[in-house]
Amino acid sequence: MSVDGFAAGVDVGAFFGYSGPGLDAWIGEATEQPQLMLMGRVTYEALAAISSEATDEASTRMNDLPKAVFSNTLREPLSWRNTRLVRGDLAERITALKRESDVPLRSIGSLTLVRSLMELGLIDRLRVMVFPLTLGGDGREPAYAGYPRTGLQLAGTRVLDSRIVLLEYRPGASSG
């Protein structure tokens, strides 16, 4: 997200135009870890359009990862390889996936899905990547609009390419 809290903006490319070797390495590390990637419909449609046919290393890893898309409007068959459609009550389905999965469940993007998981108390960690720009009036998709008040404890930080800050939080103490 931008420093002023937007997940997207007018005339900004992928990663707000701040890609670099450190970010690329982190993406490689993140996609090499065993996981079940969770996403909502909007993120699924955007990523499937980019990655499903791409042959670059990062897209190939994303294609190989098992994915679950939460949607009551999408229909099967899904176009992105290794993706299953999950319907129904989110709390029940996530609880079942957590219980059944041998690998961690991780979300990418999916602001609405993550907000719902936070409201249900089903987030174990929250990773926030802050890019060094403010978007002001060009900002789109306020990253945390409508999220519940939630206390968090800082669990880790990492600086990528001397400019992007990755923050990792765990649910924690009361937010005051």
- Domain assignment of residue 92, yes or no: yes
Residue 150 domain flag = yes
The answer to the question of residue 113 being in a domain is yes
Q: Would you say residue 1 lies in a domain? A: no
Report if residue 149 sits inside a domain: yes
Q: What is the pLDDT of residues 97-110, one digit of tens each?
A: 999 999 999 998 89
Domain assignment present for residue 141? The answer is: yes
Indicate the DSSP class of residue 19. -
Looking at the 3D structure of the chain, how many domains does it have?
Answer: 1
> Which pLDDT band, with edges at 50, 70 and 90, does 13 fall under?
confident
Asked if residue 175 has pLDDT above 60, the reply is no
- Residue 155, amino acid: A
Residue 51 pLDDT class (50, 70, 90 cuts): confident
* pTM for the model: 0.89
Q: Residue 116 maps to which CATH number? A: 3.40.430.10
Q: What is the pLDDT of residues 140-169, one digit of tens each?
A: 999 999 899 999 999 999 999 999 999 999
Structure tokens at 130: 């802050």
Q: Strand ranges (DSSP E) for the chain?
A: 6-9, 36-40, 67-70, 83-86, 105-107, 126-130, 139-142, 152-160, 164-171
Domain that includes residue 24, residue range: 6-171
Above pLDDT 90, what percent of the chain?
Answer: 83
Q: 117-130, pLDDT tens digit by residue?
A: 999 999 999 999 99
- Angle (CA) 20-26-30 rounded to 5° is 145
